[in-house]
Amino acid sequence: MLIELHTLREIVDTLVLPAAFEYSGRLAEAAAQAKSAGITVIPQLDAANKLGKLIVNLRTHRDKLSKAIDKAESMHDAVEEQAKYLTHDAADIMSDVRSCCDAIELSVSDECWPLPKYREMLFPV
């Protein structure tokens, strides 16, 4: 379970957040260009704000994940207590992080998303 927690944190830090930041930047750039062109309805701005909220939420849960890893690693002498913590509290935190990643996956364009999307794994074309 600790390996899974570490792996999830690494995926968030090296794949999910960078992809979200990149796409958010693209949306912001497109919104700025639309505004400078005099366009009054700018849906990219709404999409960027929605994605920004998802990023903040993921970072909050990612921080909780890091704390859970630290706590679990500090329990190395209390194996049973560590196992309970990992299978309950840490598993819940892991699920929260995964939910955030799933929401971001649905918001980020295919070009920016570095991992296979569910539909690509389930229905290969």
The answer to whether residues 31 and 81 touch, using CB atoms and an 8 Å cutoff, is no
> Per-residue pLDDT tens for 46-95?
999 999 999 999 999 999 999 999 999 999 888 899 989 998 899 999 99
Domain that holds residue 30: 2-122
SS3 assignment, position 105? helix
The domain tally of the chain equals 1
Helix axes 2-11, 91-107, angle to 10 degrees: 20
> Per-residue pLDDT tens for 95-108?
999 999 999 999 99
Tell me the pLDDT band of 10, cut-offs 50, 70 and 90. Answer: very high
Write down the pLDDT at residue 125.
65
Please check the confidence at residue 123 and state whether its pLDDT lies above 90: no
Q: How many angstroms separate the CA atoms of 39 and 55, rounded?
A: 27
CATH of the domain at 30: 1.20.120.1560
SS3 assignment, position 36? helix
